[in-house]
Structure 1
Amino acid sequence: MGSSAHNVTVDGRERTFRLYRPATLSLSAPVPLVVMLHGALGSGRQAETAYGWNTAADRYGFVVAYPNGLHRSWAVSSDCCGFPARDGVDDVAFISATVAALSAELPVDPARVYAAGMSNGGMLAYQLACKTTIFAAIGVVAGKLLGQCPSPAPISVIHVHGTADDVIPYDGRPGKLDNDGVGPLPVEIDGGPVPNQIDRWREIARCAAPEVRTVGPTTTSVAHCPGGRDVELVTIAGAGHQWPGGAPQSAAERLLGLDPPATALAATESIWRFFSAHAREG
């Protein structure tokens, strides 16, 4: 119970992840699993500390896995990101193996397995949606879908993004870390504007026209799709590259000039509410 460290071997590499199991959680019935994917330069421990998922797990009754990317990054294309992309690491296989390992040890409900990701971790969440059938829904903050995804498995998506993000810009421009995918640490983030990507996802899922509401700086656009799926875009005007409602910045983060968490939205609560309403059918 509480937090614990684990490992799994994938493609000859020992990979690691943290697991949080609430002390009061009963394992007499199947339980939901959330896989929280850190951003580039982050870690499983950092994500566990910063984003509030353990508190949500205590409140709502689920377990959380926090995988560690090799060299603090995830491979989501041949050009992104960092050492894992350069070395051809199969992070989709790693996350799939993590879910399988946890499902062998805990009564994980296969209809309620979810992936959430920040930035580079959000990119990996999209890859999981495109290349596996494990997840009922994904939640992406300040991320992007890289590459083509013409026929994803039926899945619900919630995407949260700030309009002032200069690392993965909302309007599709190259971000400040983009190096066209060249050099020892490739970073190329393409794919066009975020709303266009969401529109394309809705088209693939055959969704109805979205319902839009705005409260303060936050605009939420929800499209309902066949099979009980939803595709939701949450746009926060003026917010940068951050996890809304996350822990206050450390002194080191302030020195690095990272964007402070937006206060207009609690992303973890919003994503969990979305997850809890979307179990995988069949």
Structure 2
Amino acid sequence: MDRRARACRTAVAVLAIASVLTVLTGCDLGRSPRREAATPATPASVAPTGPTATAPAPEKPAVAPGSSVHRLTVDGRNRTFRLYRPAKLSLSTPVPLVVMLHGALGSGQQAETAYGWDAMADQRGFVVAYPDGLNRSWAVSSDCCGSPARDGVDDVAFIAAMVADLSTKLPVAPGRIYATGISNGGMLAYRLACETTTFAAIGVVAGTLLGPCPTPAPISLLHIHGTADGVIPYDGRPSTLNNGGVGPLPVKIDGGPVSDQIDRWRKIARCPTPEARTAGAVTTSAAHCPGGRDVDLITVAGAGHQWPGAKQSTAERLLGLDPPSTALTATESIWNFFDTHPRVD
């Protein structure tokens, strides 16, 4: 009987963790007016490794190679992010910056470990920022997600302030700043496109655009989605995670079919009829739009709510989460897209 009781308690704990995970994964994307400047923030800092310097800091001090942890304050809240600078990356010329936004219950460290962006930065020559959502979630509207939405956290202001701060410390190319994210993080990437003019392109994985966004910045978009995603269904079926956007962990997901949302972006960008090609489980629909913009959709047949090409962690496997598809490496696909799409002014 004792063994049966312990087993039951363990099963209940796992189910509770899984429930919290799924509740926080999707979000409603409300819109606030476009921001042209970041909310004032205190400078970010890296924990010192030696004696305090007495000489004035250089105008563009180099961040130490490798991974480093940084802090800044936005809207009176202490925020953190990680930064990866490849050891062999030259800072003699401006460099691209990729902002990688984790999903709900993730973190900057988890995203850095899981999705392969450090290795891609080493190979292709750019820096990567991994910001942390408060309580492991991003507020993308008053209805979602979790405590940050309930408390009115301004995560768009945080990301804008982080990019501005990094631009004072590294020679970031202003026309080559990109945002990518998964699920809740992908929704925040959409919001950044709707509310700022900072980014050249966004890459969204297993996310969705909810709410109005009539005048997004003139950027390019790549959206990757699995056809078997049960959290943010590709065909627009209602998500079982909705709680009406109320309570201590508000959640609301009602974005409709992914293809319809991409069509909205193509209409705004005045794109022609897209060209489609299929290779195995992967179908790419590419629209080459005026002004050098592209709005592309990649669907992965049979893939669930995950980052294709990532490695599934032991915890994700124990919780029964969707294993990443091996039909596509999302990180490589997104960087290849970013690399050919500088900002259109």
TM exceeds 0.5? Answer: yes
Matched, 1:14 2:78: yes
Give the corresponding residue for 1:42.
106
Give the corresponding residue for 2:286.
222
Give the conservation status (yes or no) of the 8 Å contact 1:77–1:147. Answer: no
Matched, 1:278 2:320: no
Give 1:178 shift: 2.2
Give the corresponding residue for 2:116.
52
Give the corresponding residue for 1:145.
209
Query: Structure 1: which 5+ runs fail to align?
Result: none
- 1:106-141 deviation line (CA, Å, top 9, x unaligned): 000000000000000000000000000000000000
Mapping for residues 1-282 of structure 1, pairs under 5 Å: 1-247=65-311, 249-282=312-345
Point out the structure with the larger strand share: 1
**TM-score, normalised with respect to structure 2:** 0.81
Q: 2: CA distance between counterparts of 1:21 and 1:251?
A: 28
Q: After alignment, is 171-180 or 161-170 more displaced? A: 171-180
Q: Which amino acid aligns with 2:322?
A: D
Give 1:182 shift: 1.8
- SS of 1:116 mapped into structure 2: strand
Give 1:78 shift: 1.2
Q: 2: CA distance between counterparts of 1:174 and 1:50?
A: 28
Query: Structure 2: which 5+ runs fail to align?
Result: 1-64
Q: Which amino acid aligns with 2:184?
A: N
Q: After alignment, is 106-115 or 171-180 more displaced? A: 171-180
- 1:45-70 deviation line (CA, Å, top 9, x unaligned): 00000000000000000000000000
Larger Rg: 2
Give 1:8 shift: 1.3
Percentage of matched positions with identical amino acids: 77
**TM-score, normalised with respect to structure 1:** 0.98
Moved over 6 A (4+): none
Give the conservation status (yes or no) of the 8 Å contact 1:76–1:146. Answer: no
Q: 2: CA distance between counterparts of 1:221 and 1:266?
A: 17
Q: Which amino acid aligns with 2:341?
A: H
- 1:214-250 deviation line (CA, Å, top 9, x unaligned): 1111110001111100000000111000000012x22
